[in-house]
A and B are shown apart, each in its own frame.
Chain A
Amino acid sequence: MQPVATPPASQPSAVRASAAGHADAPAVEFRRISKAFGAVQANADVSFAIRAGTIHGVIGENGAGKSTLMSILYGYYQADSGDLVIKGQPRTIRTSMDAMRLGIGMVHQHFMLVDTMTVLDNVMLGNEGAFRLAPRRAAVLQELRDICARYRLDVDPLALVHDLSVGAQQRVEILKQIHRSADILILDEPTAVLTAQETASLFEILRLFKAQGKTIILITHKLQEIMDITDDVTVMRAGRVVGAVRTQDTSREQLATMMVGRPLQSELPRAPYAPGAEVLKVSGLNLTDANGVRLLSDIDLTLRAGEIVAIAGVSGNGQSELLEILSGMRLPTSGQLDFLGRALPFAGRAHADGLPAAFRKLGMAHVPEDRLRDGVIKDFSVMQNTVFGYQDGMTNRWGLLDLRAIARRCAGLLQAFDVRPNNPDLRIGLLSGGNQQKVVIAREVAAAPKLMLVGQPTRGVDIGTIESIHTELLRLRDEGVAILLSSVELEEVRALADRIVVMSGGRITGELPVDEFDTTRIGLLMGGMHTS
């Protein structure tokens, strides 16, 4: 069987052909790469090498600089200083075309696919060969079928992208890169959207690539993945390389320590588990969307005061929709919600217009999973955002906002939650992700809710803030607030939950108390009803 398919006619031949004499040169070498965005040094003097034909992990928590580094490699940004050496030759990569010509391919976290077109058309985009599409189509179709067979990619090239599952879409992204003769493949947080089974399939595919002599760069923050599949690991922290080791020579604990700079906080203090009265009862919740797709099926859930229930699951399995319904942003198709013993007021409504306000009034608070899209007004000041959703309660008798009271309250919140910079008039869009999240949480906590809905509390948040957010959530729990939390990070679920509920394919596939936490079991439940 032939190795990698011959490159398409319009592409220059891969650099691999001139590998003679550079056979043991690293596939990629970063030499003193530095990059700053304004006052933030995203990459500082980064130097390490990636051996050819290996799977190389780059690990670090949010804001460590790994994505920036890969963006430089792929031509999206130019480094301020330093060199890139690809397959033994120093190279200037100014655009992603340059990177592609060097055989570098990137599978992004957010797929770059056109939903309304077929897989075939998506692959041909940018690579069409001629003004008329028809001649190349047949050839490319065959090439894709060959690649799919060789790497067991299980994708139908004539399928429409939006009919494919998330896992399949990711395989399309990989297919695109292989078709362009990429032999250095960058994968940016690939397993964030995959179930355990799909992750296993992906890793099989990666091992096949490695066997064919390709180099894989895996960007991740999941320690277990590093241990499972990589040969070498580079650890980044605050824009610098803090460790570069062979995977076999290290351990999860060691990597974690390097990642964080200090030993991982083993466990945050919490009061003994003593849940109180029932706060929320979800009965038979169903959600079907306009296209007839069942997003939620028969959801039953109970939440008591003083407990944290965490919903574990890969994103896209209904958790987002569930939180939207529970917060009043969306109406269910059927089902019952009881809050503090009384049914929530959405019966007979045609739409959810204004419903979140009603829920808030009853004592529910919501930290949305996408804070920029849903939780804040980017162009409003920090102070204005501290009353977002609560502005009607901060007025004087003429309906005008009581600015002094708002300012006082804001000052208190910024202080208590250590928001930086402590400037109430700054546009919130200028704050870091972690500080924005602190403002949102501060605001919701200040309403003294009986129930807190929290979606992905630490997405895009730096490690220091993660700990303070976790501490705050535990404090609320100890004070008797019922918290329903949704997270794709199993570590977070384990750290915070009293009870864990696992969702897959719009259903609850399992429930267990935290002391029965078992990665394998939860992984199976997460993959439970999922059809790939």
Chain B
Amino acid sequence: MTKTDLPRWATGFVLPLLNLLSALLVAALVIRLLGESPIESLTILVNSAIVNPEGLAYTLFYASTFVFTGLAVSVAMQAGLFNIGAEGQMYVGGLGLTIAMLAFDAHLPGWLLIPAGMLGAALFGALWAFLPGWLQAKRGSHVVVTTIMFNFIAASLMNFIIVKYLIPEGQQNPASRVFADGAALPLLSTWFPQLGDTPLNIALPLAVVALAAYGILVWRSSWGYRLRATGLNARAAHYAGVRISRTIVVTMLISGALAGFAAVNSVLGSTHYLSLNFPAGAGFVGIAIALMGRQHPVGIFLSSVLFGALIQGGFDLSLEKPNIPQETFIFIQGLIILFCGAMENLYAPALRRLLGAARPRHATTKEPA
């Protein structure tokens, strides 16, 4: 993705904002065509997701999951890898989590059980990302197509495992049994009663910690330096002594682990059992978030909250307006990926002209030979 020579505040803030607005404009158009008022829809959405304190809690609850999938995709992107497989990695992460729960929830107390679950989730998520990473590093197989394939494989595999092994006797619902009470993530409403009966839990502060760790590691550590160099110019990074193959594999492992970890909030924070297709698109939302948030910790957080709001508000909106089902937000997701990712420089020339009129040119442009 090309960088322009516009000032940082323009590329980091103004352009993404313009891109987001463009996506929303197209969405508004479609909503209009569906016979609804975009303004009214937006109002319902904002009221449900932000204004209402319980709605806000739900927004942040969803955001907690999205931060992790967004981080997963962002980390991979820093190394130049486009990890479309966060969905499958989160799904399989859920399996790792479930195995830990089913094995230990009768024996261990919560404060051991939950970390065990987290470990299982991260481990299994990493596992699911390993093969695509290894294939890219060693065989040059494009990670985009392999991760997409692994999403499909995960869907089939998990279907098989849940139906064959996890459904308790006598149950019809394709889901595992409910985990023990000790396995529930502590709710934030314990400390903030205004949040009411909502699933917002410690995953949120954990997400913030993860964002901070990501920021520090990627931009301040030598590991992060090597990571970004690989993503920007793998051949030069090789010259600089970076072990490219290993970097690719490790990055995918970390990415998968983060995506797997997203299952923790979804499962232990909400349903308390593993159900079919529980990720419900969170992995793909992660892609939109990574692009919209420009792989920056603050950007990722804000984008996650935005998408949390879209999901929460979208749910209530779909109840009130049957013409705007929740799948509308999958469409909006696609628009955001398009405008913030593929068309990120759409407004750059106009902006450059605007700014160029106001300030003199840098005298340091490279001369052609």
A residues within 8 Å of B by Cβ? 37-40, 42, 62-63, 67-68, 327-329, 351-358, 360, 366, 368, 373-380, 384, 387-389, 391-392, 394-395, 398-401, 403, 421, 423, 426-427, 429-433, 460
Contact of A377 among B222, B232, B246, B365 (CB under 8 A): B232
The residue on B at minimum CB distance from A420 is B364
Bound together, the chains give a CA A403 to CA B219 distance in angstroms of 11
Please give the distance in Å from A349's CB to the nearest CB on chain B: 12
Bound together, the chains give a CA A375 to CA B238 distance in angstroms of 10
Q: Scan residues 197-247 of chain B and give those whose CB is less than 8 A from a CB of chain A.
A: 216, 220-223, 225-226, 228-229, 232-233, 235-246
Bound together, the chains give a CA A357 to CA B240 distance in angstroms of 7
Please give the distance in Å from B11's CB to the nearest CB on chain A: 12
Bound together, the chains give a CA A433 to CA B369 distance in angstroms of 9
Is the pair A377, B243 in contact by a Cβ cutoff of 8 Å?
A: no
Cβ of B367 under 8 Å from chain A = yes
Cβ of B5 under 8 Å from chain A = yes
The digit string for B282-316, where 1 denotes a CB below 8 A from any CB of A, is: 00000000000000000000000000000000000
Chain B residues with CB below 8 A from A42, complex form: 367-368
Contact of A37 among B240, B243, B365 (CB under 8 A): B365
Bound together, the chains give a CA A429 to CA B236 distance in angstroms of 14
Q: Scan residues 84-118 of chain B and give those whose CB is less than 8 A from a CB of chain A.
A: none
B residues within 8 Å of A by Cβ? 3, 5, 216, 220-223, 225-226, 228-229, 232-233, 235-246, 361-369
Sample 16 A-B pairs with CB under 8 A, ordered by A number. Answer: A38-B365, A39-B362, A40-B365, A42-B367, A63-B369, A352-B238, A353-B244, A353-B246, A357-B241, A357-B243, A366-B239, A400-B216, A401-B220, A423-B364, A430-B366, A460-B369
Chain A residues with CB below 8 A from B240, complex form: 356-357, 388-389, 391
The residue on B at minimum CB distance from A394 is B222
Please give the distance in Å from B140's CB to the nearest CB on chain A: 13
Chain A residues with CB below 8 A from B216, complex form: 400
Is the pair B223, A399 in contact by a Cβ cutoff of 8 Å?
A: yes
Please give the distance in Å from B345's CB to the nearest CB on chain A: 14
Interface centre among B233, B236, B363 (most CB of A within 10 A): B236
Please give the distance in Å from B367's CB to the nearest CB on chain A: 4
Is the pair A329, B239 in contact by a Cβ cutoff of 8 Å?
A: yes
Is the pair B220, A353 in contact by a Cβ cutoff of 8 Å?
A: no
Is the pair B362, A368 in contact by a Cβ cutoff of 8 Å?
A: no
Bound together, the chains give a CA A389 to CA B361 distance in angstroms of 33
Given contacts A360-B241, A384-B225, whether A373 and B235 have CB atoms under 8 Å apart is yes
Chain B residues with CB below 8 A from A375, complex form: 236, 239
The residue on A at minimum CB distance from B365 is A38
Bound together, the chains give a CA A483 to CA B238 distance in angstroms of 22
Is the pair A39, B361 in contact by a Cβ cutoff of 8 Å?
A: yes
Chain B residues with CB below 8 A from A356, complex form: 238-241
Is the pair A327, B239 in contact by a Cβ cutoff of 8 Å?
A: yes
Is the pair B220, A68 in contact by a Cβ cutoff of 8 Å?
A: no
Given contacts A351-B245, A377-B233, A391-B225, whether A368 and B367 have CB atoms under 8 Å apart is no
A67-B368, A421-B363, A460-B369 known, 14 other contacts, Cβ within 8 Å:
A62-B369, A352-B238, A353-B243, A357-B241, A357-B243, A374-B236, A375-B236, A377-B229, A377-B236, A395-B222, A400-B216, A401-B220, A430-B364, A432-B366
Bound together, the chains give a CA A426 to CA B5 distance in angstroms of 11
Is the pair B239, A368 in contact by a Cβ cutoff of 8 Å?
A: yes
Is the pair A401, B368 in contact by a Cβ cutoff of 8 Å?
A: no
Bound together, the chains give a CA A343 to CA B358 distance in angstroms of 61
Contact of B233 among A63, A352, A378 (CB under 8 A): A378
Bound together, the chains give a CA A395 to CA B220 distance in angstroms of 9
Chain B residues with CB below 8 A from A388, complex form: 229, 236, 240
Please give the distance in Å from A225's CB to the nearest CB on chain B: 18
Bound together, the chains give a CA A77 to CA B216 distance in angstroms of 45
| Leading 4 A-B pairs by shortest Cβ distance | A357-B241, A354-B243, A389-B240, A38-B365
Bound together, the chains give a CA A426 to CA B367 distance in angstroms of 16
Contact of A430 among B232, B237, B243, B362 (CB under 8 A): B362
The residue on B at minimum CB distance from A430 is B364
Given contacts A373-B236, A377-B233, A389-B240, whether A401 and B366 have CB atoms under 8 Å apart is no
Chain B residues with CB below 8 A from A67, complex form: 368-369
Is the pair A429, B226 in contact by a Cβ cutoff of 8 Å?
A: no
